[in-house]
C-alpha cells in the first residue's frame, strides 16, 4: 500500500529530533512528473529502516536502484545459492511508494564473489554460469525491475574492451572478438525478460572522447544488427566544477539519434573538503550550477528519460572513503538531510517548461 510521504516526514522527525529537515513545498518527484522524466537515486537496503533516510527517499524520488544488492557478490554468494533478500527489500520499498526500479548490474569485472573469480572455470563453464545468472536474476525480478544495466564498465579509457573474467580471463568463449561478449549478454537478457529495458552503463564517457566514441560505434552496430539494446547509462561522477555540459548534451544527442534512451545513472559532484570536513560556500554554489546544467542537458532531449544520483545524502556517500576524506559533500542533501543549493538547482530546473511546454 502506498504510504503518503508526510507520514515518513513525521517518522523522520521523531527519529532525528530537532535536526530533521523541513519538507520542501514541492518535491523533486512532483516537479519531474510534468516533464515525464524519472528522478532517482541509488540506495542501500540496510538504511531503509532509518526514518529520515526512508522519509526523504519516499518523498523526493520516483525511481530507485540498489547500489550493491543486485550485484553478483550479494545475489550469488556461492555457486549453488541465489540470495534475493536485499534486492527484494528495495523492490518492496519501491512498490509501496510508487517508484520504479532500475537493476544494477548483471555483468561487471568488479564485485564478483571469490568462488567465481578463482573458480578456474573453462570458457564453456563460465558461459553457462553467466547465462544462468542473467536468466535467474532477471526472471526473479520480471515485472518489478523496468530497466537493467546489463553490462557495466566494459571499456577502458581508449574505448578498447577491457581484459576481464568475462572477456578473456578466461572469457565466455568470445575472447578477442571485441564486443561480442557484450552482445551475447544482451541477447541472454532479452530472452530472460523481453519487457525490460536493457542498458549499457559506463563511466567517464559522458562527453566526447575515445571511450564515448567507442560506445557510440558499438550501439550503432548493435542497432544495425538488431541486438536488443534500449539505452546507454552515463554515470557522471563529476569532480571538476568546470564540467563541460555542452559535450554532454552533444553526446546525449548523438546516442538518442540512434534510437536508444539515455539515463544519467550515477550522478554526484564531489568537492574538496576543508577543516572539519566542510565544503566551501562558493564551491557549494558552483556545485549547484553543475547539477543544474546536467539536468538541463537531459531535459532538453526527449530521449534522456531518467536522472539518478549515486545516493542522495552526504551522510552516506562513497566519495569520503574513496578519497580518504579529502573530498565529499557530493550529493543534494547534507548529512542532516537538509536540502543544499544543489537540491534547489535541480528542483528549479525540473520546474522549468520542457521543450517550450508546461
- Among 312, 331, 268, 233, residue whose Cα is nearest residue 56: 312
Residues 196, 229: contact at Cβ < 8 Å? no
* In-domain check, residue 358: no
Select which of 153, 202, 206, 349 is catalytic: 153
Residue-level pLDDT at 314: 96
For residue 356, tell me if it sits in a domain: no
Question: What confidence score (pLDDT) does residue 24 get?
Answer: 65
**Does a structural domain hold residue 306?**
yes
C-alpha to C-alpha distance for 84 and 146, rounded to whole angstroms = 17
Give the other-Cβ count within 10 Å of 163's Cβ: 12
Q: What is the pTM of this model?
A: 0.92
Residue 95 grid cell? 512498490
Q: Residue 44: its pLDDT value, please? A: 98
The answer to the question of residue 44 being in a domain is: yes
Identify which of 98, 116, 88 has the alpha carbon closest to the alpha carbon of residue 38.
98
CATH number of domain containing 344: 3.20.20.80
Q: Establish how many alpha carbons lie within 13 A of residue 252's alpha carbon, considering only the half-sphere containing its beta carbon.
A: 26
3-state secondary structure the chain: CCCCHHHHHHHHHHHHHHHCCCCCCCCHHHHHHHHCCEEEEEECHHHCCCHHHHHHHHHHCCEEEECCCCCHHHHCCECCECCCHHHHHHHHHHHHCCCEEEEEEEECCCCCCHHHHCCCCCHHHHHHHHHHHHHHHHHHCCCCEEEEEEEECCECCCCCECCCCCCCCCCCCCCCCCCHHHHHHHHHHHHHCCCCEEEEEECCCCCCCHHHHHHHHHHHHHHHCCCCCCEEEECCEECCCCCCHHHHHHHHHHHHCCCCEEEEEEEEECEEECHHHCECHHHHHHHHHHHHHHHHHHHCCCCEEEEEECCCECCCCHHHHHCCCCEECCCCECCCCCECHHHHHHHHHHHCCECCEC
**Judging by beta carbons within 10 Å of its beta carbon (0-12, 13-18, 19+), is residue 1 exposed, middle or buried?**
exposed
Are residues 95 and 146 in contact, defined by beta-carbon separation less than 8 angstroms?
Answer: no
Question: Structural domain of residue 154, as residue ranges?
Answer: 5-351
State residue 354's pLDDT score: 58
Tell whether 149 is covered by a domain.
yes
Residue 53 lies in a domain: yes
| Model pLDDT, residue 226 | 98
Domains contained in the chain, number: 1
Active site residue 266: yes
Q: Is residue 167 assigned to a domain?
A: yes
Mean pLDDT by 10 residues, the chain (358 residues): 40 38 80 94 98 98 98 96 98 98 98 97 98 98 98 98 98 97 98 98 97 98 98 97 97 98 98 89 97 98 98 94 84 97 98 59
CA–CA gap between residue 284 and residue 233 (Å, rounded): 26
CA distance 136 to 109: 19
Catalytic residue among 89, 206, 266, 349: 266
Q: How far apart are CA 70 and CA 83, in angstroms?
A: 9
pLDDT at 20: 46
Name the pairing type of β-strands 271-272 and 327-328: antiparallel
Amino acid at each position: 500500500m502506498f504510504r503518503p510521504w508526510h507520514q515518513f516526514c513525521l517518522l523522520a522527525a521523531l527519529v532525528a529530533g530537532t535536526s530533521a529537515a523541513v519538507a520542501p513545498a514541492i518535491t523533486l518527484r512532483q516537479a519531474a512528473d510534468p516533464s515525464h522524466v524519472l528522478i532517482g537515486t541509488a540506495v542501500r537496503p540496510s538504511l531503509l529502516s532509518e526514518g529520515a533516510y526512508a522519509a526523504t527517499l519516499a518523498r523526493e524520488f520516483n525511481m530507485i536502484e540498489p547500489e550493491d544488492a543486485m550485484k553478483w557478490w550479494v545475489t550469488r554468494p556461492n555457486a549453488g545459492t541465489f540470495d534475493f533478500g536485499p534486492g527484494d527489500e528495495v523492490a518492496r520499498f519501491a512498490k509501496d511508494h510508487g517508484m520504479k526500479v532500475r537493476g544494477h548490474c548483471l555483468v561487471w569485472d568488479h564485485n564478483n564473489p571469490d568462488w567465481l573469480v578463482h573458480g578456474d572455470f573453462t570458457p564453456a563453464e563460465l558461459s553457462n554460469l553467466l547465462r544462468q545468472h542473467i536468466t535467474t536474476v532477471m526472471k526473479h525480478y520480471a515485472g518489478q525491475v523496468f530497466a537493467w544495466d546489463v553490462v557495466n564498465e566494459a571499456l577502458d579509457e581508449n574505448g578498447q574492451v577491457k581484459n576481464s573474467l568475462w572477456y578473456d580471463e578466461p572469457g565466455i568463449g568470445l575472447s578477442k572478438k571485441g564486443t561480442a561478449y557484450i552482445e551475447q549478454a544482451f541477447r541472454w537478457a532479452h530472452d530472460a525478460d523481453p519487457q525490460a529495458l536493457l542498458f549499457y552503463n559506463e563511466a567517464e564517457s559522458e562527453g566526447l572522447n575515445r571511450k564515448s566514441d567507442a560506445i557510440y560505434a558499438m550501439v550503432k552496430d548493435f542497432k544495425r544488427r538488431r541486438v536488443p539494446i534500449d539505452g546507454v547509462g552515463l554515470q557522471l561522477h563529476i569532480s571538476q566544477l568546470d564540467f563541460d555540459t555542452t559535450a554532454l548534451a552533444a553526446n546525449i544527442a548523438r546516442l538518442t539519434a540512434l534510437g536508444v534512451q539515455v539515463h544519467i545513472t550515477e550522478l554526484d559532484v564531489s568537492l574538496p573538503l576543508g577543516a572539519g570536513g566542510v565544503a566551501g560556500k562558493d564551491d557549494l554554489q558552483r556545485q549547484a550550477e553543475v547539477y543544474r546544467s546536467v539536468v538541463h542537458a537531459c531535459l532538453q532531449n526527449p530521449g534522456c528519460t531518467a536522472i539518478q544520483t549515486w545516493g542522495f545524502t552526504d551522510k552516506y556517500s562513497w566519495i569520503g572513503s574513496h578519497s580518504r576524506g579529502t573530498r565529499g559533500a557530493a550529493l543534494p542533501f547534507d548529512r542532516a538531510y537538509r536540502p543544499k543549493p544543489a537540491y534547489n538547482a535541480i528542483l528549479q530546473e525540473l520546474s522549468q517548461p520542457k521543450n517550450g511546454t508546461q
